[in-house]
Amino acid sequence: MEPSIATSIGQIQLDKPVMLASGILGISLDVFNRLYASGAGAVVTKSLSTAPWEGYPNPTIFSVKGGGWINAVGLSNPGASNFAKMIEPNQDVPIIVSLVGSVPEDFETMIKEFENCKIKAYELNLSCPHVAKVGLEVGDDPGLVKTIVSTVKKATNVPVIAKVGLGTSNYLNTVSNAVDSGIDAITAINTVRAMAINVETKRPILSNKFGGLSGTPIKPIALRCVYEISSKFDIPIIGCGGVSTWEDAVEFFLAGASAVQLGSAIGDNWVGVFDDINRGILEYMKKNNYSTIKDMVGLAKKS
């Protein structure tokens, strides 16, 4: 019998385990349809705010020697209301809406905008490393995490995911507070705070000075975080950070994730990366006699 690469992240059912991460190509329904047709199990939107944000001036992205990217786009987006109108015609694509805010009321307001939209889940961005008063500053505040998650869970029946990252406090405390407040799943991790300096101008390259490092350099960190979270909490996990091959995806499954997200890999391999990874996962499952993704999840923790 042919193995199945369908997966579930709690209540979220997906035909394929590889998703688009937030922040990459996440702003157009036409693009979402193309990504879905190319093998993405779901697409996560750019992080949306209550009102449109322009983001930072250029330069906002820098290619790291040896692989990876540092970006400080500044969460530019058209605002939740405008974006909801854009995706309302959606019928087929599994869309996960990423939301960012600084107080619980921000999230409650935005969720109301999507009442008429067909979406799979919300992903709460509690970990952006380069925008003040949102992201990591929220994730580092245990009380605020609890209040935001509780507020969102009361406001919707759609599954809710918390995206965590590495801030000034122990990220496992953020996970713990989110789990205690009823979160449905965890995405780990967001980009890691970083910077680059031009040796000729002797100045930081990015206009914001600091940005978020993504891609291959952070995969070992993300993998460690998924392993730690799955070892300490009974919560579905989406692995994110440096996924570019089927081997990367399988590592995250073995560490405890039920699905993965990718973003930076599109810069190198364009949208064909989804189908390449899906086919590689399927061949690995055949070789090891695994019937489902679940058969692999967490095996690296077993003695």
Whether residue 273 has pLDDT greater than 90: yes
Residue in 174, 215, 214 with CA at minimum distance from that of residue 194: 214
In a domain, 57, yes or no: yes
Q: In this structure, how many other beta carbons lie within 10 angstroms of the beta carbon of residue 277?
A: 27
Residue-wise pLDDT for 51-78, tens only, equals: 999 999 999 999 998 889 999 998 899 9
Catalytic residue positions?
A: 128
- Alpha-carbon gap, residue 281 to 298, rounded angstroms: 16
> Which two structure tokens, joined as six digits, stand for 239?
């692995």
Asked whether 245 and 280 are in contact (CB, 8 A), the reply is yes
Alpha helices in the chain (DSSP H): 29-37, 80-87, 104-113, 136-139, 142-155, 171-180, 219-232, 246-255, 264-269, 272-288
> Which two structure tokens, joined as six digits, stand for 135?
């992201």
Whether residue 134 has pLDDT greater than 90: no
The mean predicted confidence, pLDDT, of the chain is 94
116 annotated as a binding-site residue: no
199 annotated as a binding-site residue: no
74 annotated as a binding-site residue: yes
In a domain, 161, yes or no: yes
Who contacts 33 (Cβ-Cβ below 8 Å, separation ≥6)?
Answer: 92, 93
As a whole number, mean pLDDT of residues 80-102 equals: 96
Asked whether 213 and 68 are in contact (CB, 8 A), the reply is yes
In a domain, 2, yes or no: no
Residue-wise pLDDT for 150-201, tens only, equals: 999 999 999 999 999 998 889 999 999 999 999 999 999 999 999 999 999 9
Whether residue 131 has pLDDT greater than 70: yes
Q: What's the domain range around 243?
A: 7-301
Asked whether 301 and 14 are in contact (CB, 8 A), the reply is no
CATH number at residue 37: 3.20.20.70
pTM: 0.96
* pLDDT computed for residue 130 by the predictor: 73
What's the per-residue H, E or C state across 7-57? EEECCEEECCCEEECCCCCCCCHHHHHHHHHCCCCCEECCCECCCCECCCC
In a domain, 296, yes or no: yes
125 annotated as a binding-site residue: yes
- Alpha-carbon gap, residue 192 to 222, rounded angstroms: 10
* pLDDT computed for residue 302 by the predictor: 80
68 annotated as a binding-site residue: no
Asked whether 143 and 118 are in contact (CB, 8 A), the reply is no
Whether residue 303 has pLDDT greater than 70: no
Among the listed ranges 39-43, 134-138, 268-272, 291-295, which one has the minimum average pLDDT value?
134-138
In a domain, 1, yes or no: no
Nearest-5° Cα angle at 137, 131 to 140: 150
Residue-wise pLDDT for 106-116, tens only, equals: 999 999 999 99
6 annotated as a binding-site residue: no
In a domain, 106, yes or no: yes
Who contacts 274 (Cβ-Cβ below 8 Å, separation ≥6)?
Answer: 16, 18, 35, 38, 39, 40, 262
Report the number of distinct structural domains present in the chain.
1
Residue-wise pLDDT for 241-256, tens only, equals: 999 999 999 999 999 9
In a domain, 77, yes or no: yes
In a domain, 290, yes or no: yes
* Collapsed DSSP state (helix, strand, coil) of residue 104: helix
